[in-house]
Amino acid sequence: MTLRESHIADNPEFPWLEAADVDGISTCLNALGWLESGERIVTCDKAGEGNMNLTLRVVTNLRSVILKQARPWVEKYDTIPAPWDRCLFEQRFYERVQVLPAVADHMPKLLAADGDAKLLLLEDLGEAADYTDLYADAALHEPEIAALAKYLSTLHAGTRSEPDPAFANREMRALNYEHIFVIPLATDNGLDVDAFEPGLSEMADKLRDDAEYMEWVRKMGDRYLADGPCLLHGDFFPGSWLYHDGGVKVIDPEFCFYGDPEFDLGVWLAHICLADQDESVFKELIGAYSGVFDSALTVRYAAVEIMRRLLGVAQLPIPVSDGTRSRLLEKSRHAMITGEIEVLWSFDSYSHLR
Ligand SMILES: Nc1ncnc2c1ncn2[C@@H]1O[C@H](COP(=O)(O)OP(=O)(O)OP(=O)(O)O)[C@@H](O)[C@H]1O
Ligand SMILES: [Mg+2]
């Protein structure tokens, strides 16, 4: 029996939704009182390229909405278990940022939520693409950088307090910890990174043999698991940003937690590196973020994020390469060891001297 089959068998009363089952979705939404009188569903389709959840675009005779259901598995790989309560933390994030317009205005509105059915009903921002094209040849422009930086600085400053236990999100943090700090550097992880770039596994071995580097990864992993002073988005990368007429929008805060603001900032910077953006983008981003941050901590979170996107399970749509990934890995190793933020944009220009 698969994980999916056994959960369904164990929870026969749970409203397991499927895109093709419009009647089932209709019954569920009516039972929750989420459809207005006279409102009926016209179509239900997958909303986009998500992995974790069942994320649907539900079009009715009156409107279009996004319906997101968390299941106790990863939707795209239903043999992998996932924390079932994750939608609760995502719901709390949307509710918490209501008092921070610079954050809430850059996200869809949360229209309804139900903890028993593990459902969120969100404003549909339209069929806009996410920012994955940054890994191809697109560029992040100044107004987008300013909006994203304002989003992050407001989120961090506006939530700074003792860690709020309502955002502990321990299980999701434990899952992410494995995927960021453990699996990519495990010798027996079963991943064939040479398929992305010939010779990359040798580079990975070099990292594993570097005791100083490994010690830094361990320390950063401990910090990630410890609570910190601000509410974080927790997954601040181009896959969580949508192109929108009214400016960039941010979605999917299911990995949110109280942690180091440097984690969100570091992940963002990591993806600026991975997307091979100009030096000016790094500088604009750092200049636009108005909060105080520890630059060595930020660059070390960035370093580990670069590494895990090259060696781990959550790969990015970067074409098969011949040296690009090795250079990025070497850059991230150097960034981790030195803690110098400039390494993120100036390493290539002086690395040949080393
Ligand atoms: N409010 C929204 N408006 C329009 N499209 C949306 C909205 N929310 C989600 N989508 C679409 O659905 C996709 C998946 O959404 P989301 O990232 O929230 O799901 P997920 O299952 O958590 O995905 P992932 O595994 O990538 O974390 C998005 O990339 C986007 O294309
Ligand atoms: Mg997600």
**How does pLDDT run along the chain (354 residues), one tens digit per residue?**
889 999 999 999 999 999 999 999 999 999 999 999 999 999 999 998 889 999 999 999 999 999 999 999 999 988 889 999 999 999 999 999 999 999 999 999 999 999 999 999 999 999 989 999 999 999 999 999 999 999 999 999 999 999 999 999 999 999 999 999 999 999 989 999 999 999 999 999 999 999 999 999 999 999 999 999 999 999 999 999 999 998 999 999 999 999 999 999 999 999 999 999 999 999 999 999 999 999 999 999 999 999 999 999 999 999 999 999 999 999 999 999 999 999 999 877 655 544
Q: Do 184 and 114 reside in the same domain of the chain?
A: no
Boundary-marking domain end, from 55, 88, 123: 123
Same domain for 107 and 232? no
Distance 246 CA to ligand 2 centre (A): 23
The helix/strand/coil state of 11 is coil
* Interval between CA 162 and ligand 1 midpoint (Å): 30
Q: Do residues 298 and 176 share a domain?
A: yes
What is the reported pLDDT for 280? 97
> What was the pLDDT predicted at 349?
63
CATH assignment at residue 94: 3.30.200.20
CA–CA separation, 130 and 79 (whole Å): 26
CATH of the domain at 165: 3.90.1200.10
Same-domain check for residues 107 and 190: no
- Shared domain for 190 and 229, answered yes or no, is yes
End position of a domain, from candidates 89, 106, 123: 123
* CA 54 from centre of chain: 16
Q: Are residues 102 and 150 in the same domain?
A: no
Please name the residue whose Cα sits nearest to atom 30 of ligand 1: 48
Backbone region of residue 342 per phi and psi (left: phi > 0; alpha: psi in -120 to 50; beta: other values) = alpha
Ligand 2 centroid–CA 226 distance in Å is 22
Residue 266 CA to residue 147 CA, distance in Å, equals 17
What is residue 50's predicted lDDT score, i.e. its pLDDT? 86
Q: Could you tell me if 25 and 96 lie in one domain?
A: yes
Q: For residue 246, what pLDDT is reported?
A: 86
Residues 163 and 41 in one domain: no
Distance from the alpha carbon of residue 51 to the mean position of ligand 2, in angstroms: 7
Ligand 1 is surrounded, with C-beta below 6 A, by: 47-53, 55, 66, 68, 108, 122-125, 130, 239, 251-252, 254
**Contact criterion met (CB below 8 Å) for 241 and 248:** yes
Distances (CA, A) of 318 to 129, 175, 310: 17, 24, 10
* Domain region containing 43: 3-123
Predicted local distance difference test score (pLDDT) of residue 188? 87
Among the three residues 123, 155, 183, which one is the final residue of a domain in this structure? 123
Cα separation, 252 vs 58, in Å, equals 18
- On whether both 37 and 165 belong to a single domain, the answer is no
CB 230 within 8 A of CB 160: yes
Partners of 41 in the beta sheet?
A: 60
Q: Ligand 2 (ion): which residues have CB within 5 A? A: 52, 252, 254
Same domain, 243 and 268: yes
CA 8–ligand 1 middle distance (angstroms): 24
For residues 236 and 264, the answer to whether their CB atoms sit within 8 Å is yes
Give the model's pLDDT for residue 240: 98
Nearest CA to ligand 1 atom 1: 124
Sorted by sequence, the CB contacts under 8 Å of residue 103 that are 6+ apart come out as 97, 151, 154, 155, 158
Rounded-to-integer distance, Cα 185 and Cα 188, Å: 9
Is the distance from CB of 234 to CB of 264 less than 8 angstroms? yes
Whether residue 114 sits in one domain with residue 150? no
The phi, psi pair for 79, rounded to 5°, reads -95, -10
Cβ atoms of residues 102 and 154 within 8 Å = yes
Residue nearest ligand 1's atom 9 by CA: 47
Probe ligand 1: pick from 58, 73, 242, max atoms within 8 Å of CB? 242
Number of domains in the chain: 2
Confidence at residue 120, expressed as pLDDT on a 0 to 100 scale? 98
Residues in the chain: 354
Q: Identify whether residues 255 and 220 lie together within a single domain.
A: yes
